[in-house]
């Protein structure tokens, strides 16, 4: 075993160790530890991706001394390492982009706690990406939930406690359903590791027994992860959770947290559920319908919203709908498109949340359309960033959102005719609605205002924030221009994922 | 049917308790009762796991007296899962209680519906304020 093969395990342990060390550090120290840790995880994930993409194979890493089917293990392939690379990059850029706000929004004595939540969040996301064990996944789902709750509460204003309670209630319903689903699965298969569980399930499907329990289990697991990732109609917690917290936390929550659960769901669909089982077809049907509904209703809700932060949050509901629609197509390409959109939406949404923070900052802290008039002149980089993020969301060519939509449309051609038509119509309607609310906001940002309102009073943009915004803009363009190798890696990764 | 209900009474009890807990967690407006619902729901899963993990007539998996035949012991993993699950649910309950205290300090009530009504009223006032400021035909 080469050194590189240990890196996924090192990254999980390193992020947990960073969280523990940060308890005894002050704000500045915990910030340095966090940034160093994320950079190290980024480098290690890049090395792992290089290694696995070169061989095109995945490998399992035994945790402890007991081999499968008894011990615990993680499994690493091109898809997992690509996701780890994207997640750590997006976390780094989001935190750098919101650095100045973190210092303003969070009392100095609590700053280290904020970074601890971020460390734990990254560690749980990495564990969800890599783990091959169902119960480990459950434990890290809970760690992720608790860390996300801490991030939602980062700004200590009255409203966030209500958002946090609403998030926790929905999330705990999800966790409870996941746990009972997991217990039932363990009861009928006798395995907690995914690959042996799949073999046991395939044997049961072959004997045509346990069809009802298998369907119930997968409905429970899908619904639980759907609730946690904000699938329509379980999305009610999203706008509150993303709308009131500090920008770095909002960017991390919207671009990463939901995606961890979606990846776990994909893993369950590919690595645990045998393709021959009748449950597989039913689940993709349900995901498709909910995904398509979410694509449209999320956008309709976003149009109704006056506050730009909550509008961006509602747009996440629509984008999560896109991902589930891709999974619901039930084809390999649909899944590749969904995985690409996981990355693509992360890059777009992190950029939008970071820029929104800059724009509201120069508009007296308000996010409504009246206050934002001419904000694009007052904060140029945030204005440009928001415009590019919006264009990417709508699907303008050369930006990552276009590649996503194109891949979804192309993937739909391989699905059943009815689904193909439904997916195309939903894509067209959703794109139009996206254009309505994003372009409306961009027009407001560049409405001509009096020269006195073109300058921000008492505001100096931080250089690090600007650099992070530029980094996110470049990421959006890079994913849009150089998408073929990314799509190639994802599709090869999915081929060895099961 | 009747016989299978009798043999699986523990699992049936666990699922009923799970549903009771879930409904309480979702529908109770009182935050403390929500937390109680959460705990009932989690405990139901532990009851399910413990019931599934126990086989009558077999011993706890502790190696004593030189008996190495695995078929005489029960599987220790369900008990391990229950223990891990308890740790998780204790920390989640603690977090929910901390949140409840914060909310009570802020709004002086434990009823989530009342808190939401207060918030909606505040938001409606803000919206009216904005609408008064935003003249029609002023914006694209």
- Model pLDDT for residues A116-138, shown as the tens digit of each residue: 999 999 999 999 999 999 999 99
Which among A135, A161, A172 has the least Cβ separation from residue B81? A135
Q: How far apart are CA A303 and CA A324, in angstroms?
A: 21
pLDDT, greater one: B66 or B18? B18
Quick check: B2 pLDDT over 80? no
Q: CB–CB of B26 and A139 under 8 A?
A: no
* Residue-range definition of the domain harbouring residue B60: 2-133
Minimal C-alpha gap between A443 and chain B (Å): 7
- Return the H-helix or E-strand segment holding A73: strand A72-76
Indicate if A98 and A22 belong to the same structural domain: yes
Indicate if A284 and A257 belong to the same structural domain: no
Q: CB–CB of A370 and B133 under 8 A?
A: yes
Q: CB–CB of A164 and B127 under 8 A?
A: no
Q: What is the pLDDT of residues B51-83, one digit of tens each?
A: 988 888 888 888 877 788 888 888 888 889 999
Minimal C-alpha gap between A241 and chain B (Å): 14
Domain count, chain B: 1
* Residue-range definition of the domain harbouring residue A27: 1-275
**Residue A454: predicted pLDDT:** 77
The parts of chain A modelled with pLDDT lower than 50 are none
Q: How far apart are CA A10 and CA A30, in angstroms?
A: 19
Q: CB–CB of B21 and A176 under 8 A?
A: yes
Indicate if A179 and A248 belong to the same structural domain: yes
**Residue A131: predicted pLDDT:** 93
Indicate if A303 and A432 belong to the same structural domain: yes
Q: At what angle do helices A78-97 and A111-130 cross, to 10 degrees?
A: 160
**Residue B134: predicted pLDDT:** 62
**Residue B136: predicted pLDDT:** 54
Quick check: B1 pLDDT over 70? no
Indicate if A287 and A338 belong to the same structural domain: yes
**Residue B135: predicted pLDDT:** 56
Q: CB–CB of B85 and A179 under 8 A?
A: yes
Which among A146, A162, A179 has the least Cβ separation from residue B119? A162
User: Chain A residues with CB-CB distance to B under 8 A?
Assistant: 135, 138-139, 142, 145-146, 149, 153, 158-159, 161-162, 164-165, 168-169, 172-173, 175-177, 179-180, 183, 186-187, 192, 306, 368-370, 373, 440, 443-444, 447
Tell me which of A223, A240, A275 is where a domain ends: A275
Indicate if A254 and A347 belong to the same structural domain: no
**Residue A31 φ/ψ, nearest 5 degrees:** -65, -45
Indicate if A266 and A330 belong to the same structural domain: no
Does B140 reside within a domain? no
Q: CB–CB of A169 and B41 under 8 A?
A: no
Tell me which of A243, A275, A307 is where a domain ends: A275
Tell me which of A275, A295, A322 is where a domain ends: A275
Q: CB–CB of B49 and A146 under 8 A?
A: no
Burial class (CB in 10 A: 0-12, 13-18, 19+), A62: middle
**Residue A1: predicted pLDDT:** 65
Nearest CA in chain B to A153: B99
For residue A48, CA distances in Å to A129, A333, A413, A437, B20 come to 13, 24, 33, 40, 46
Residues of A within 8 A of B119 (CB-CB) are: 159, 162
Q: Residue B114 is part of a domain; what is its CATH number?
A: 1.10.287.3510
Domain count, chain A: 2
Q: How far apart are CA A59 and CA B87, in angstroms?
A: 31
Quick check: B137 pLDDT over 60? no
Residues of A within 8 A of B18 (CB-CB) are: 176, 180
Best of A127, A176, A375 to mutate (most B CBs within 10 Å, chain B):
A176
């Amino acid at each position: 075993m080469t050194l590189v093969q240990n890196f996924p395990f090192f990254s999980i342990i390193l992020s947990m160790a960073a969280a523990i060390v940060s308890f005894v550090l002050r704000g500045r120290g915990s910030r340095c530890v966090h940034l160093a840790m994320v950079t190290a995880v980024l480098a290690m994930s890049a090395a792992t991706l290089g290694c696995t993409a070169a061989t095109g194979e995945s490998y399992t890493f035994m945790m402890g001394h007991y081999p499968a089917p008894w011990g615990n293990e993680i499994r690493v392939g091109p898809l997992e390492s690509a996701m780890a690379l994207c997640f750590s990059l997006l976390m780094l850029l989001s935190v750098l982009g919101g650095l100045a706000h973190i210092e303003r929004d969070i009392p100095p004595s609590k700053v280290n706690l904020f970074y601890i939540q971020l460390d734990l969040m990254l560690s749980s996301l990495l564990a969800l990406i890599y783990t091959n064990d169902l119960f480990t996944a459950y434990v890290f789902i809970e760690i992720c939930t608790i860390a996300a709750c801490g991030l939602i509460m980062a700004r200590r204003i009255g409203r966030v406690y209500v958002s946090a309670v609403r998030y926790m209630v929905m999330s705990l319903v999800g966790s409870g359903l996941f746990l009972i689903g997991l217990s039932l699965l363990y009861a009928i298969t006798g395995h907690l590791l995914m690959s042996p569980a799949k073999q046991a399930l395939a044997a049961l499907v072959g004997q045509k027994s346990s069809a009802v329990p298998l369907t119930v289990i997968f409905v429970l697991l899908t619904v639980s992860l759907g609730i946690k990732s904000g699938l329509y109609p379980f999305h009610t917690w999203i706008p509150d959770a993303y709308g009131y917290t500090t920008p770095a936390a909002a960017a991390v929550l919207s671009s990463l947290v939901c995606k961890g659960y979606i990846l776990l769901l994909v893993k369950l669909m590919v690595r645990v559920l045998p393709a021959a089982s009748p449950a597989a077809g039913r689940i993709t049907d349900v995901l498709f319908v909910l995904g398509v509904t979410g694509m449209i209703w999320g956008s309709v809700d976003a149009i109704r919203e006056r506050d730009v932060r909550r509008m961006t949050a509602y747009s996440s509901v629509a984008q999560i709908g896109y991902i589930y629609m891709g999974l619901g197509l039930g084809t390999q390409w649909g899944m590749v498109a969904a995985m690409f959109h996981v990355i693509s939406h992360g890059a777009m949404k992190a950029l939008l949340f970071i820029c929104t923070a800059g724009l509201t900052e120069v508009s007296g802290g308000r996010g409504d359309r009246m206050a934002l008039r001419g904000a694009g002149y007052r904060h140029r980089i945030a204005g440009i960033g928001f415009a590019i993020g919006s264009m990417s969301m709508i699907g303008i060519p050369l930006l990552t959102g276009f590649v996503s939509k194109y891949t979804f449309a192309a993937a739909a051609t391989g699905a059943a005719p009815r689904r193909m038509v439904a997916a195309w119509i939903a894509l067209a309607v959703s794109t139009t609605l996206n254009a309505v609310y994003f372009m409306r906001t961009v027009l407001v940002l560049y409405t001509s205002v009096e020269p006195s309102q073109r300058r921000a009073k008492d505001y100096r943009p931080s250089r690090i924030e600007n650099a992070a915004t530029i980094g996110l803009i470049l990421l959006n363009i890079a994913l849009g221009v150089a998408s073929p190798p990314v799509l190639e890696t994802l599709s090869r990764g999915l081929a060895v994922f099961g | 049917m009747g016989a299978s209900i009798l043999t699986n009474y523990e699992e049936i009890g666990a699922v009923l308790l799970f549903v009771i807990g879930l409904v309480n967690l979702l529908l109770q407006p009182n935050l403390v009762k929500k937390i109680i619902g959460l705990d009932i729901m989690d405990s139901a899963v532990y009851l399910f796991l413990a019931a599934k993990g126990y086989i009558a007539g077999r011993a706890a998996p502790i190696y004593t007296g030189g008996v190495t035949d695995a078929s005489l012991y029960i599987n220790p993993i369900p008990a391990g899962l229950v223990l891990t699950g308890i740790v998780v649910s204790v920390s989640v309950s603690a977090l929910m209680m901390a949140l409840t205290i914060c909310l009570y300090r802020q709004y002086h009530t434990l009823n989530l519906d009342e808190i939401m009504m207060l918030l909606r009223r505040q938001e409606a006032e803000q919206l009216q304020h904005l609408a008064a400021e935003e003249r029609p035909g002023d914006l694209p």
